[in-house]
């Protein structure tokens, strides 16, 4: 049975959101949510969950390049726990090292330059990449 998931690229000022599903392993960007010192507008997240009816939530963990936890990964894990506590859905954390770098590269490749987050936000594109990785790992586990 296909699984629909929402992916979150956690940040202290913005949180990128993407939606994807396991049937095709594809994901698409939804939007960037504003955050105040890492705290999102929980009502916006509730509306997205109500609209998309996901089976799971995926949060990117920004680990250090050597794989060790960072201050931001600790904050992302706290965000993941709050998602699970508020919405009662399974929440999966995934290593997202380089997803923002890849998202910026994707913008460059498409002819847009990531000169400013306001002009070309990369957070929802980073959420797409981490969600596609999780969906790919999921399909490998079930095959």
Residue 60's pLDDT band (boundaries 50, 70, 90)? very high
Q: What are the structure tokens assigned to 55, written together? A: 């089976």
Quickly state the pLDDT bin for 14 (edges 50, 70, 90). very high
Q: Compute the average pLDDT of residues 22-37.
A: 93
pLDDT of residue 62: 87
Q: With a cut of 50, say whether residue 72 has pLDDT above it.
A: yes
Residues 6+ apart with CB under 8 A from 109: none
Residue 143 has pLDDT above 70, yes or no: no
- The count of C-alpha atoms lying within 13 angstroms of the C-alpha of 91, restricted to the half-sphere facing its C-beta, is 19
The pLDDT, as a whole number, for residue 103 is 54
Return the pLDDT at 124. 86
Answer yes or no: is pLDDT of 104 > 70. Answer: no
Q: Which domains does the chain have, with CATH numbers?
A: 4-142 (3.30.420.140)
pLDDT at 73 over 60: yes
Question: For residue 96, is pLDDT > 60?
Answer: yes
Average pLDDT over residues 53-69: 90
Residue 6 has pLDDT above 90, yes or no: yes
Position 81 pLDDT exceeds 90 = yes
CB atoms within 10 A of CB 139: 14
Model confidence, pTM: 0.83
Contacts of 6 (CB under 8 A, 6+ apart): 17, 18, 19, 30, 48, 49, 52, 54, 57, 58, 131
Please state the rounded mean pLDDT for residues 59-81.
Answer: 90
């Amino acid at each position: 049975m296909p699984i629909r998931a929402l992916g979150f690229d956690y940040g202290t000022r913005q949180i990128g959101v993407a939606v994807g599903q396991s049937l095709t392993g594809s994901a698409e960007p939804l939007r960037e949510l504003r955050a105040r010192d890492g705290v999102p507008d929980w009502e916006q997240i509730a509306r997205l969950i109500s609209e998309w009816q996901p089976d799971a939530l995926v949060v990117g963990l920004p680990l250090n390049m050597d794989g060790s936890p960072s201050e931001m990964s600790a904050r992302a894990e706290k965000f993941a726990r709050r998602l699970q506590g508020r919405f009662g859905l399974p929440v999966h954390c995934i290593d997202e090292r380089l997803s923002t770098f890849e998202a910026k590269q994707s913008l460059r490749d498409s002819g847009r330059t990531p000169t400013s987050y306001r002009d070309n936000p990369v957070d929802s594109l980073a959420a797409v990449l981490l969600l596609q990785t999780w969906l790919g790992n999921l399909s490998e586990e079930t095959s």
